[in-house]
Amino acid sequence: MISFRKIFGMGGHVVTRIAPSPTGALHIGTARSALFNYLYAKKYNGRFILRIEDTDRKRSRKEYEKDILSGLAWLNLTYDELYRQSERTAIYAPYIKQLLRENKAFVSKEKSTHDSSVEVEVIRLRNPGKHITFFDEIRGEVTFDTRELGDFVIARSNTEPLYHLAVVIDDHEMGVTHIIRGEDHISNTPRQILIQEALGISRPVYAHIPLILASDRSKLSKRKGGAEVAEYREKGYLPAALVNYLALLGWNPGTEREIFSLDELVDSFSLSHVQKSGAIFSEEKLQWFNREHFRRLSSSEKVNLLSTVFDGKKTEEIVHIVPIIDERFDGLQNLAHAVRDGEYEYFFSAPSVDENVLPGKSGTLEDARGHLQKLVQLLESTSDFSAEGVKDTVWEYASEKGRGEVLWPMRYALSGKEKSPDPFTIASIIGKEETLKRLRRAAAL
C-alpha cells in the first residue's frame, strides 16, 4: 500500500472532496461518501471540500443544492471550502487550449444528438490506447485497457468541458490529494487518468468504497424508498445515530465496538478497514443506533429534544418521563404521533377510567375495588416512592391475591390504558400524592 509520507512528504496535507450534483436530494450513499471524506481529512488535519457540480443546467435545481447543504449541516459534516462548478467556467479554457495546442486533443465535427441534420463541433482527447494500472487503497491494483474507450469527448467547446475533464481540472486546482468515492465511479478512473497524463497533472490517491445496498442486494435507490437523508431527518432520527450507522456501512473499526461519536469516528477511521463488498441498509438497525444515541444524551439534552414534541409541557414535567422514553424511543416522528394520540397524557393529567375495563378479564368490579383500597393503605405508609420502593410495598399482597388481579386494576387506574408501562414505574413518575388520588378515585367507581 502506498504510504502517506511517500506521496506527500513530511509536510504534506490531505485534501478530500465530495462533489454532488444538484439534480436530486441528498442521497444516503452521497452522505456516506461525504462522511468518509470528512473523516479521512480530519484524521490527518487536512481539508474537506464541497464542490457542487451544477453544470447540467437543465437538471440542476437550487432547491436540491439547498437540500444538500442543509443535509450535510444537519449531519455536522462541516466543509472547509465550498465551490460551484458553474462559477468556474473561465478556469477550464486554458487547459482545453493547452490540450489542443499540444495536439493531445482535437476538434471533431459530428451530428447533433438533438438533430441529426445539424453538425456540431466537439473536442476529443487523443487516446494513446494503452493499459492503465492504478492503485486503489481498498481494492489494490486495478488495470484497464483504454483502447476500448477510443478518442472520447472531453468538451463541447473551448469553455464547456464535460464531466471527466472538469473533474480532473477542479481536483487539480483545489489540490485534492485523495478521491474517496463509490465503486460505481471506478470505471471513470481510466478516462480521468488519461486526461491527467495529457495535462501533466499528478495522480491523486484513489479509494473506491462499496455501494450501499437495499435488502434485495440491489443498489439503494429512490424508487426503493429510504434513499434520501431528508426522509430520516423528518422521521426524527438523531443525526449522530445516522452518522454512526453510515460509518459502519462498509467500514469497521477492527473491534466489536459499534457506538461512536463523530469525533471518535475521526480518531478510529482508516481506509485499510473499509471493506470491498456492498453493505445492506437496514432501518431496523438504524433504529437501534437511534435508541442508543438517545440514551447517551445528557438529561438536559433529552429534555430539550423532547420539548419539541411535548409542546406546552413544563421542563420539570418532561424530566420525569425521560426514563420511559429511553426504553421505547424510535424517533421523534413516531413519538410525536404517540403524543398526539394521547399515549403519554396520563403522565401529565389524571386519565378517565372505564369501570368495565378496571377489573380485567378474570376479576369483578368489587374485587378490583377491594384491591385498590388495600393498595392505598399500603402505599400511604411507604416513604420510598421509587419504582422499586413501590414494588416492594405491594408485591407481597399482589403475590398472595394474584398478581394479575391486583396489578391490572392498579396499572389501569393510574394510566387509563390497557397497554402502558408497569404500575410501579408510573407511580414513581407521577408521585405519591397523585398515585393515591387516582387509586382512590378508581376504587370509588
Active site residues: 222
Q: Tell me if 374 is assigned to a ligand binding site.
A: no
The answer to whether the beta carbons of residues 220 and 246 sit under 8 Å apart is no
φ/ψ (deg, to 5) at 331:
115, 150
Report how far residue 226's alpha carbon sits from residue 242's, in angstroms, rounded to the nearest whole number. Answer: 12
Report how far residue 245's alpha carbon sits from residue 259's, in angstroms, rounded to the nearest whole number. Answer: 9
- Helical segments of 283-386, H only: 283-295, 299-307, 315-328, 332-340, 365-380
Which contacts of 362-369 are long-range, i.e. CB under 8 A and separated by 24 or more positions? 362/402, 362/404, 362/405, 363/405, 363/408, 363/409, 365/445, 367/405, 368/405, 368/409, 368/442, 368/443, 369/443, 369/445
The C-alpha torsion from 292 through 298 and 300 to 301, rounded to 10°, is -50
CA end-to-end span of the chain:
78
**Amino acid occupying residue 286:** L
* Burial of 43 (C-beta count, 10 Å sphere; 0-12/13-18/19+): middle
Strand pairing report for 160-161 and 279-280: unpaired
Can you tell me whether residue 42 is helix, strand or coil?
helix
Sign of CA dihedral 142, 148, 150, 154: negative
Residue 287 vs residues 35, 209, 241, 262, 291: alpha-carbon distances, Å: 19, 24, 8, 18, 6
Report how far residue 226's alpha carbon sits from residue 206's, in angstroms, rounded to the nearest whole number. Answer: 28
Secondary structure of 86-129 in HEC code, one letter for each residue: HHCHHHHHHHHHHHHHCCCEEEEEEECCCCCCCEEEEEEECCCC
- The rounded radius of gyration (Å) of the Cα atoms in the chain is 31
